[in-house]
Amino acid sequence: MGLALVHGRARAGIRAPAVKVEVHLAGGLPSMSIVGLPEAAVREAKDRVRAAIQCAQFEFPARRITVNLAPADLPKGGGRFDLPIALGILAASGQIPADALGDWEFLGELGLTGELRGTDGVLPAALAVAATGRRLLVPAANGAEAALASGVEVRTARTLLEVCALLGGQKALPLATAPEQRVPAGPDMREVRGQAQARRALEIAAAGGHHLLLVGPPGCGKTLLASRLPGLLPDASEAEALESAAVQSVSGRGLDPACWRTRPFRSPHHTASAIALVGGGSEPRPGEISLAHNGVLFLDELPEWDRRALEVLREPLESGVVTISRAARQSEFPARFQLVAAMNPCPCGWAGDASGRCRCTGDAITRYRARISGPLLDRIDLHVDVPRLPPAALRPDAPEGESSGHIRQRVIEARQRQLDRAGVTNAALDQAATARDCRLAPGDQALLERAIDALHLSARAMHRILRVARTIADLESHERIASLHLTEALGYRGFGRSG
């Protein structure tokens, strides 16, 4: 009778709960069973493990093998348990020293030849292992990703034989190293001609973390403006970057470790479903709103989106998290993104244009705009008209706009004032902090109340106007909100009205 214990990690959202792989060898007819709520890929591990052990010139025990993945009520999926299971069988049968396994945690899928293949969700596992004091061994393909986690020793191997040589003391394996960081050159605000109001709104949105809606005719530069927002944002902190990278790691779409500090910019097509936006599946995966965590989510042609898909944004816009519930499990993903949306003012796109080419009826325009619910518009802080530029403004010799670098410096200074004052950006202020930090003079308070009545805005919209005014004051280095700051903030609420 032989018994071995190997440490591994499961995947549950962006968490990596610990799993104990217990392997027991007993007499009886040769067989192998895996228990502990394994999914199909884990149940198939017994065939991969058998072939890998034999190809590595070890003996596969002709005994009754029971593999228990504890805790039993935690679903286990993927090929990440292949390596722990194989090591457990070898240790239980006495072919490798069992006492060498206690200081390590293992992740990796096995090929039939004993080759170690990469798996997803390695970064959350490495972050979790760092808190335990154990060491981590991963396939070479995952080494750069696992090395992003500080405070943990990560070794890489290419084959099962190399892992066994390490545990037996015959060979040392290389340390995983993080690649040199690469900062992709993004688009610059210098390339945006004209559009002074939209440029100003983009700066305010970047400084305070506010959501933004751009309304204008086709070809006026809405997408051009939205794509420049990431270049105005401050660098992500290490904690923010790691959290965003962890979401990318578990998404199954691959993580580029060389660009992990880059804020995400997601731009899904308007035919995307609600599941694509919020995430889901039988084994829940993050959707676009989570992949945009700590970055920008750009939704073009907003009225063309399915109404049900847009409505799933309402709760994450407020809470910053999304919870996906299934019969077998519940997963929570972070979703604190900055929304930038773009739309035409009417079905043909030319309502309000000086050319007068719009032929849409009032009812058609109302129906078109009604595709976006009032509660969703209420959650968007800045509503900006982006007019069509005259041809003269588009000449090659027309003066360029201010560069992203100069604007970004002002944004960084304004954000630092917010963090020093409240610890969060203005967009993230709660009701109590809004009342404390966004006080108005009596005359300005009366002006705000008259505007709320005239525009039929909600209490939520009023608080968002105050936070935008606070951001404008921060950009101007003012301690208090002045009338000029409030009136500018009110000017950005003309399109979306709820009541």
Tens digits of per-residue pLDDT, 437-452? 999 999 999 999 999 9
pLDDT above 50 (res 496): no
Are 340 and 486 found together in one domain? yes
The CATH code of the domain that includes 134 is: 3.30.230.10
CB atoms within 10 A of CB 66: 16
E strand or H helix at 444, and its extent? helix 442-455
Query: According to the model, what pLDDT value does residue 498 have?
Result: 37
CA angle 333, 337, 338 (to 5 degrees): 170
In sign, the C-alpha dihedral spanning 118, 122, 126, 129 is: negative
Q: With contact defined as beta carbons under 8 Å apart, do 174 and 252 qualify?
A: no
Higher model confidence: residue 254 or residue 387?
387
pLDDT above 70 (res 414): yes
> What separation in angstroms does the CA of 368 have from each of 169, 257, 494?
70, 43, 17
Any domain includes 82: yes
Find, among 8, 159, 23, 9, the residue nearest to 94 by Cα: 23
Any domain includes 179: no
User: What residue type is assigned to position 254 of the chain?
Assistant: G
User: What residue type is assigned to position 240 of the chain?
Assistant: E
> What separation in angstroms does the CA of 156 have from each of 107, 117, 172, 194, 374?
10, 11, 10, 53, 53
Domain boundary among 134, 167, 200: 167
In order, the DSSP letters of 57-79 are TPPPP-SEEEEEEESTTS-B-SS
Are 16 and 119 found together in one domain? yes
Are 353 and 462 found together in one domain? yes
Find, among 12, 37, 9, the residue nearest to 104 by Cα: 9
Phi, psi for residue 314 in degrees, rounded to 5: -60, -50
pLDDT above 80 (res 407): yes
Mean of the per-residue pLDDT values for the chain? 92
Do the strands 154-157 and 330-334 form a parallel or antiparallel pair, or are they unpaired? unpaired
Are 96 and 231 found together in one domain? no
Any domain includes 180: no
Any domain includes 235: yes
417-422 long-range contacts, Cβ below 8 Å, gap at least 24? Answer: 417/474, 417/477, 418/208, 418/471, 418/474
Least confident of 32-41, 126-135, 246-255, 438-447: 246-255
Domain that holds residue 271: 189-491
Q: With contact defined as beta carbons under 8 Å apart, do 309 and 277 qualify?
A: yes
Are 268 and 161 found together in one domain? no
Are 157 and 199 found together in one domain? no
Query: According to the model, what pLDDT value does residue 254 have?
Result: 79
Q: State whether residue 222 is helix, strand or coil.
A: helix
Are 61 and 146 found together in one domain? yes
Higher model confidence: residue 102 or residue 394?
102
Any domain includes 444: yes
Are 161 and 287 found together in one domain? no
Are 210 and 147 found together in one domain? no
> What is the average pLDDT across 25-33?
93
Are 203 and 149 found together in one domain? no
Residue 379, both tokens: 């959650």
Are 21 and 135 found together in one domain? yes
Any domain includes 140: yes
How far is it, in rounded angstroms, from Cα 290 to Cα 251?
9
> What is the average pLDDT across 173-189?
85
pLDDT above 80 (res 2): yes
Q: Residue 408 — very low, low, confident or very high, per pLDDT cuts 50/70/90?
A: very high
Q: Residue 327 — very low, low, confident or very high, per pLDDT cuts 50/70/90?
A: low
Domain boundary among 167, 199, 217: 167
pLDDT above 60 (res 497): no
How far is it, in rounded angstroms, from Cα 354 to Cα 367?
23
Query: According to the model, what pLDDT value does residue 45 have?
Result: 95
Phi, psi for residue 166 in degrees, rounded to 5: -65, -45
272-275 long-range contacts, Cβ below 8 Å, gap at least 24? Answer: 272/305, 272/309, 273/306, 273/309, 274/306, 274/308, 274/309, 274/311, 274/312
**Bridge partners, residue 70, by sequence:** 20
> What is the average pLDDT across 46-52?
96
Q: At what angle do helices 160-167 and 82-92 cross, to 10 degrees?
A: 50
The CATH code of the domain that includes 437 is: 3.40.50.300
> What is the average pLDDT across 395-404?
81
Tokens 């010799």 sit on residue: 397
Query: According to the model, what pLDDT value does residue 186 have?
Result: 78
Any domain includes 496: no
> What is the average pLDDT across 368-375?
92
Query: According to the model, what pLDDT value does residue 192 have?
Result: 86
Are 110 and 211 found together in one domain? no
Task: Convert 6-45 to b/e letters by CB count within 10 Å (16 or more is b).
Answer: bbbbbbbbbbbebbebbbbbeeeeeebebebbbeebbeeb
How far is it, in rounded angstroms, from Cα 403 to Cα 190?
4
Give me the percent of the chain exceeding a pLDDT of 90: 78
Least confident of 117-126, 295-304, 310-319, 395-404: 395-404
Q: With contact defined as beta carbons under 8 Å apart, do 103 and 127 qualify?
A: no
- Summarised one tens digit per residue, pLDDT across range 110-156 is 999 999 999 999 999 999 999 999 999 999 999 999 999 999 999 99
Number of structural domains found in the chain: 2
Q: With contact defined as beta carbons under 8 Å apart, do 349 and 218 qualify?
A: yes
Query: According to the model, what pLDDT value does residue 328 have?
Result: 64
Any domain includes 184: no
Give me the percent of the chain exceeding a pLDDT of 70: 98
